[in-house]
Chain A
Amino acid sequence: DTEVTQTPKHLVMGMTNKKSLKCEQHMGHRAMYWYKQKAKKPPELMFVYSYEKLSINESVPSRFSPECPNSSLLNLHLHALQPEDSALYLCASSQTTGANYGYTFGSGTRLTVV
């Protein structure tokens, strides 16, 4: 299995809703990432987990709450989002956080906040 699987593929939520995005990989990668990509912009890093511990939080608002329950799973809990949070949310993984390993990206969750 050489994939990063993200669910759901599409999500529409209201500003008062609570939802979660899920990311799963079974490649034995110990680094996992959340990116946010707005239209026509490059992906922006949000969070990095290394060996199930949060190692980087790129000043992301607290309405986004990441969780790494085990080495294969990465969640992003969403609460009280704003319409400007609508974007493609990408999960990625790599063997470690070191720069010598290429990433594997999931296909993303298209989030629309209404």
Chain B
Amino acid sequence: DQQVKQNSPSLSVQEGRISILNCDYTNSMFDYFLWYKKYPAEGPTFLISISSIKDKNEDGRFTVFLNKSAKHLSLHIVPSQPGDSAVYFCAATPYNFNKFYFGSGTKLNVKP
């Protein structure tokens, strides 16, 4: 039973526009959420995180939104750049527990 789901396996966006990647989870005990970015032949790299006491966290072009009542988080990339083309994983964990549950990933393609 997958507790973290990314229902869109792929997304294609024009350069300069907004990319919105979505993630849903089922476990109400999840308290901390992360987004990872993965290029081919590389390990996932940490991108941005959010804890449940916030509903938004921003870092440059990347913003993560958390809707706890809907058990939904999203990653916005504005403006999208071709170098953003990668697979994006969301992950969740209960607070103070070091096991992360990963989604299956969304492959983002930013077209020049």
A interface vs B, CB < 8 Å? 4, 6, 31, 40-45, 48, 50, 55-56, 58, 90-92, 97-100, 102-108
Beta-carbon contact of B46 and A99 below 8 Å = no
Contacts of A48 in B (CB 8 A): 98
Q: List 27 A-B contacts (CB under 8 A).
A: A4-B43, A40-B104, A40-B105, A42-B89, A42-B102, A42-B103, A42-B105, A43-B44, A45-B99, A45-B100, A58-B99, A90-B44, A92-B43, A98-B98, A99-B97, A103-B34, A103-B36, A103-B46, A104-B45, A104-B46, A105-B36, A105-B42, A105-B43, A105-B46, A108-B41, A108-B42, A108-B43
Contact for B31 among A42, A91, A99, A105, CB less than 8 A? A99
Residues of B within 8 A of A58 (CB): 99
> Does A102 lie within 8 Å of B49, measured CB to CB?
yes
Q: Which residues of A contact B51 (CB under 8 A)?
A: 100
What 7 A-B pairs are tightest by C-beta distance, nearest first? Answer: A42-B102, A105-B43, A102-B46, A97-B98, A99-B32, A90-B43, A107-B42
| Chain B interfacial residues counted at CB < 8 A | 25
Interface string of B29-55 (1 = CB under 8 A from A): 001101010000111111001010000
A56–B98 touching, CB < 8 Å: yes
- Report B-chain residues with C-beta under 8 Å of the C-beta of A91: 43
Contact A42 B104 (CB under 8 A): yes
